[in-house]
Amino acid sequence: MIRIFFSLGLAITHNVVYSENIYKAYNNTNGLDWWQTGIIYQVYVRSFKDTNSDGIGDLNGIKVLLDFVPNHSSHLHEWFLKSVKKIPPFTDYYVWEDPVYTKEGKQPPNNWLAVFNSGSAWEWNEERQQYYLHQFLVEQPDFNYRSPMLVEEMKNVLRFWLDRGVDGFRFDAVNFIFERADLVNEPESGDPESEPNDYYSLNHIYTLDQPETYEMVHQWREVIDSYKKSENDTSRMFMVECYSPVDKIMQYYGNDTALGAHFPFNFFFIEHFNRQSDAKQMRDVIASWLANIPEGRWPNWVLGNHDKNRVASRLDSMLIDGIQMAQMLLPGTTVTYNGDELGMEDTYIRWDEAVDPWGLNVGIRRYEKFTRDPQRSPFLWDNSLNAGFSDGPKPWLPVNPKFWRDNMQQQTKYKSHLRTYKQLVSLTKSPTILYGDLNVFILSKWVLGFSRSYLDHPTYFVVINLGSETERVNLLNARYTLPHILKVKVSSVNSGLVTGNLVRTENIILRPKAALVMTTSRTNEDDDNF
């Protein structure tokens, strides 16, 4: 059982005070599944590797989890075309509603807004003489999950891929799949940065995280679990994407009577951690997930994805090693967005190069605020043409101009973010990291520390300097009885130290944005043979 404690200490000159145990993980330390012991690596396929020279990435599978979009289809999909014509059973596969007539004429059924269009979430269809709901693009009509036929059809889609051997799914925008049936108008949000008809100008209490959504997640879990028919079968798993309040997020894990997703994505480091964050705020980000997770459920940590600016651009490129130390050595599963292991930064994409519908729809004035093109630029494989992404004439998005220096091939040759990442991946196989206790403590305003310990296995200490000044850290102020010398296991590229260096426990020097993983083990061999 993993036991997790959070310190309330605020300075290195005071003894650290610890709170009570607030989180219990899996009790069976010998029964972790494959998705709990490995790294989930998110590939944005269009930008990862082009193998047929058309400038667009493709994927020749490995152990594969598919991105599954349950909320909507294309307006060109066969189901939608038949629904427009009211051909059974497709008539009610989508959300159709009659217009409301006012003195101004025909109007949409309510004030609901679309995410990408800066306008109504309803589109008039002349042939059917009704509005259809599209919470994203006009070209993406929403499914109607109040139709039993549609529900079974979507389960069959899952079965189609499961029968072909996929190992699981990432369910996209799952919290959008149900809307309140009586079509009540949503209240204004009061967001001062939103313009009229912007999506965020409303508080979406009737179109997100509806009670029926959790029941649908339970049903999907039953389908996925049915593919593990014996103990020898490989487990299939699924994760759900939802940017929601913490109380609603945790319901996607399921409850005492019905299982939900294996986990909802933990976006707290994306949403609640930035360049201004100090050690206390980082501690709170960690605690807010672990303190709320249902007993017996599994945590996860996400730093980036294809919809958010890259972590190296949101924070500081020199902090990437330290933040990944936290992500990979805290209890739970690490989810890495391709390129973050290199410390890739956003690529500036001009308006005339833009392809993201969201950015295009809001127009040139607000393009840079909403576009997702910068974090979707091609993976940097080497310093050849198009960074090795494609040998075609032109990739679908421009390559980052730093490709000649910050590419994967170059980073294998010297102390780099990639080599640090690989060291951390190896360390995640350690029994201490898989099963060990967690203690989190604040060592100064800008330095966060945490430790992982497990029985007689080596203990690991992580210290991260979030600040802009060099800090002296004294771990003897922490709870442990520690040796006076610790060995560096993993170090950030800016730390000035390398694996195997010895440091004095009461006088650890951390450069700005530097971070270290240290161990009580003094052996030169790989600890625990992992």
46-50, 178-182, 486-490 — which is least confidently predicted?
A: 46-50
- Residue owning tokens 């270290």: 516
**What integer pLDDT is reported at residue 523 of this predicted model?**
67
**What integer pLDDT is reported at residue 157 of this predicted model?**
97
pLDDT by residue (tens digit) across 285-324? Answer: 999 999 999 999 999 999 999 999 999 999 999 999 999 9
Q: Is the pLDDT of residue 335 over 60?
A: yes
Task: Please determine, looking at this structure, whether the domain spanning 4-28+431-529 carries the CATH number 2.60.40.1180.
Answer: yes
Alpha helices in 340-478 (DSSP H): 357-362, 367-370, 408-411, 417-427, 431-435
pLDDT by residue (tens digit) across 203-223? Answer: 999 999 999 999 999 999 999
> HSE (CB half, 13 Å, CA atoms) of 15?
5
DSSP character string of 131-199? EEE-SS-TTSPBB-TT-HHHHHHHHHHHHHHHHTT--EEEETTGGGS---TT-PPPPB---TTPPTT-G
14-18, 192-196, 219-223 — which is least confidently predicted?
A: 14-18
Which one has a higher pLDDT value, 480 or 249? 249
CB neighbours of 300 closer than 8 A, spacing ≥ 6?
Answer: 239, 263, 265, 266, 332, 333, 334, 335
Instruction: Calculate mean pLDDT across residues 55-66.
Output: 83
Distances (CA, A) of 375 to 77, 368, 387: 28, 12, 16
Instruction: Calculate mean pLDDT across residues 262-287.
Output: 97
**What integer pLDDT is reported at residue 514 of this predicted model?**
98
**What integer pLDDT is reported at residue 25 of this predicted model?**
46
Q: Is the pLDDT of residue 46 over 70?
A: yes
- The whole model's pTM is what? 0.91
| Contact between residue 301 and residue 266 where contact means Cβ atoms under 8 Å apart | yes
Helix (H) or strand (E) holding 462: strand 460-465
Instruction: Calculate mean pLDDT across residues 419-433.
Output: 97
What is the Cα–Cα distance from 255 to 30, expressed in whole angstroms? 24
Q: Which residues pair with 124 in a beta bridge?
A: 131
Active-site residues: which are they? Answer: 172, 241
Spell out where 30-120 has E strands.
39-42, 65-68, 96-97, 100-102, 105-107
Q: Is the pLDDT of residue 20 over 70?
A: no
Instruction: Calculate mean pLDDT across residues 82-106.
Output: 96
| Contact between residue 478 and residue 491 where contact means Cβ atoms under 8 Å apart | no
**What integer pLDDT is reported at residue 118 of this predicted model?**
78
**What integer pLDDT is reported at residue 188 of this predicted model?**
96
* Structure tokens given for 507: 């006088």
**What integer pLDDT is reported at residue 365 of this predicted model?**
93
Helix (H) or strand (E) holding 472: strand 471-473
Strands 485-491 and 515-519: antiparallel
Q: Is the pLDDT of residue 525 over 80?
A: no
**What integer pLDDT is reported at residue 8 of this predicted model?**
38
**What integer pLDDT is reported at residue 31 of this predicted model?**
78
What is the Cα–Cα distance from 271 to 196, expressed in whole angstroms? 24
Q: Is the pLDDT of residue 527 over 60?
A: no
Burial of 347 (0-12, 13-18, 19+ CB in 10 A): buried
Q: Is the pLDDT of residue 69 over 50?
A: yes
pLDDT by residue (tens digit) across 346-374? Answer: 999 999 999 999 999 999 999 999 999 99
Strands 300-302 and 333-337: parallel
Confidence of residue 521 (pLDDT cuts 50, 70, 90): confident
Q: Is the pLDDT of residue 262 over 60?
A: yes
